Amino acid sequence: MKIGIDGRVFMGHRTGVGRYITELCSHLDPFLTDARFIVYSPVPLSIPFPSDRWTLHIDPNPLASRLKAIAWLKTMCGRLCADDRPDVFWATSVFLPSLHRHTRIVSTVYDLNHLYFPQSMGTSHRLAYHLFFKNDLARSDRITTISEGTAHKLVRHIHCSKPTVLLPAVSDQFRRPEPSLINDFR
């Protein structure tokens, strides 16, 4: 099985979303031992891949690095996906490139700020959410969120089936310590 991944979340300084996706990738790898993972990006990335089954597919077109990331995904990433023909595409930030009709789609939604706090977003982000959010989500075979609150809001406002909640505390460093360790610390 080939799994394509939108690598835009790994561009630039790693934020909470990039860390979240990095942690999920490191935990997916041992469970999907027969999978090959392809991370798509318009620019070179420095991310630690969990195993040698991971490949970074950088767009060789010189125009790719000059476009806004969302514009690249919508206009150019589909060509890379057509070359690789992933069985599943993980839209790590909801938005989708052009994909083969048999490609299964998993989309991750972090919040609905574009509905509740649009003023907190830049113009290009607001426009992208306005133009693509609902349609791209409707194309998804599975939707994941990072909280029950976001899942409930999606059901209420977007009228989608209940998403799967994958909490951000994937890494062991975010787990609550054993009670004995807490007592020792106190």
DSSP string, 115-174: HH-GGGS-HHHHHHHHHHHHHHHHT-SEEEESSHHHHHHIIIII-PPPPEE--S--SGGG
pLDDT for the residue numbered 169:
62
- The Cα 155–Cα 172 span in angstroms is 30
Q: Which of 26-35, 75-84, 161-170 has the lowest mean pLDDT?
A: 161-170
Residue 103 has pLDDT above 90, yes or no: yes
Residue 83 has pLDDT above 80, yes or no: yes
Residue 84 has pLDDT above 70, yes or no: yes
pLDDT range class, residue 57, cuts 50, 70, 90: very high
- The Cα 79–Cα 152 span in angstroms is 35
Cα→Cα distances 48→9, 25, 52, 112, Å: 14, 10, 11, 29
pLDDT for the residue numbered 173:
61
- Number of neighbouring beta carbons within 10 Å of residue 66: 11
Residue 31 has pLDDT above 70, yes or no: yes
pLDDT for the residue numbered 13:
79
* Dihedral sign, Cα of residue 94, residue 97, residue 98, residue 99: negative
pLDDT tens string 164-186: 888 776 566 666 677 887 788 77
Q: Token digits for 131?
A: 């133009």
pLDDT for the residue numbered 12:
80
Q: Which of 12-16, 74-78, 105-109 has the lowest mean pLDDT?
A: 12-16
**Identity of the residue numbered 59:** D
Residue 69 has pLDDT above 80, yes or no: yes
Q: Token digits for 123?
A: 């113009």
